[in-house]
């Protein structure tokens, strides 16, 4: 292998006959500690804290300053050896404590608290793509037929999304 780092997490690789291999190994462990089951104190941070604790991390904003300068949108983690930075890749996900939600890196930026895709409960999809709008009943003095049609459409949509068991008709 001729590469100096891994392709996804850019962890430093050891070379045959390399001196001080423990430094490269420790650097790889520090980055893994930052990225695996990633969590951050806050999102969009621009100024490094004055007294961070080892293990604390932040999702950086678009224009960080000081020790964070040049690391826009990166995950910055404090270690006993100083700051470590991990550039996010498409799909990087980090728990943000201040928000109480996950942040997702997608399309070149971070979003917070959004769930993408579908929701499956006990093997059944319960939420998926948005269906067509259901119209409100309108017109006439007696709207019983229209109300029944609207309610039937709502129930059909709920069954289609698995929110109501279709067997219980």
- pLDDT tens sequence for the chain (169 residues): 457 766 766 667 677 777 787 777 777 777 777 778 889 999 999 999 999 998 899 999 999 999 999 999 999 999 888 999 999 999 999 999 999 999 999 999 999 988 777 777 778 777 777 777 766 666 666 667 878 888 888 888 888 877 777 765 5
pTM to 2 decimal places: 0.64
The torsion defined by the Cα of 59, 65, 70 and 76, in degrees rounded to 10, comes to -30
CA 2 to chain centre: 32
Give whole-number Cα distances, 70 to 50, 159, 161, in Å.
19, 50, 45
Distance (Å) of CA 164 to CA 3, 124, 125: 54, 11, 11
Rounded Cα gap, residues 31 and 130, in angstroms: 39
pLDDT at 169: 55
Q: Are 119 and 125 in contact (CB under 8 A)?
A: yes
Closest-CA residue to 12 (of 29, 36, 37, 35): 29
Q: Structural domain boundaries of the chain?
A: 37-112, 119-160
Smallest CA-to-CA distance from 75 within 118, 114, 117, 104 is with 104
Collapsing DSSP to helix, strand or coil, 68 comes out as: helix
Q: Quote the CA–CA distance of 16 and 87 in Å, as a whole number.
A: 27
């Amino acid at each position: 292998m001729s590469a100096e780092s891994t392709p996804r997490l850019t962890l430093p690789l050891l070379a045959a006959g390399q001196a001080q291999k423990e430094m490269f190994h420790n650097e790889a462990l520090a980055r893994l500690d930052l990225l695996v089951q990633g969590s951050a104190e806050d999102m969009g941070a621009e100024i490094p804290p004055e007294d961070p604790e080892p293990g604390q991390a932040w999702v950086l904003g678009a224009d960080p300053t000081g020790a964070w300068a040049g690391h826009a949108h990166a995950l910055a983690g404090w270690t006993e050896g100083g700051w470590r930075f991990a550039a996010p890749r498409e799909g990087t996900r980090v728990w943000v404590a201040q928000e109480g939600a996950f942040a997702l890196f997608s399309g070149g930026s971070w979003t917070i608290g959004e769930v993408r895709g579908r929701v499956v409960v006990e093997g059944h999809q319960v939420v998926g793509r948005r269906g067509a709008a259901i119209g409100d009943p309108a017109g006439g003095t007696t709207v019983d037929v229209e109300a029944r049609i609207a309610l039937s459409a709502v129930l059909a949509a709920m069954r289609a999304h698995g929110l109501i068991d279709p067997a219980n008709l």
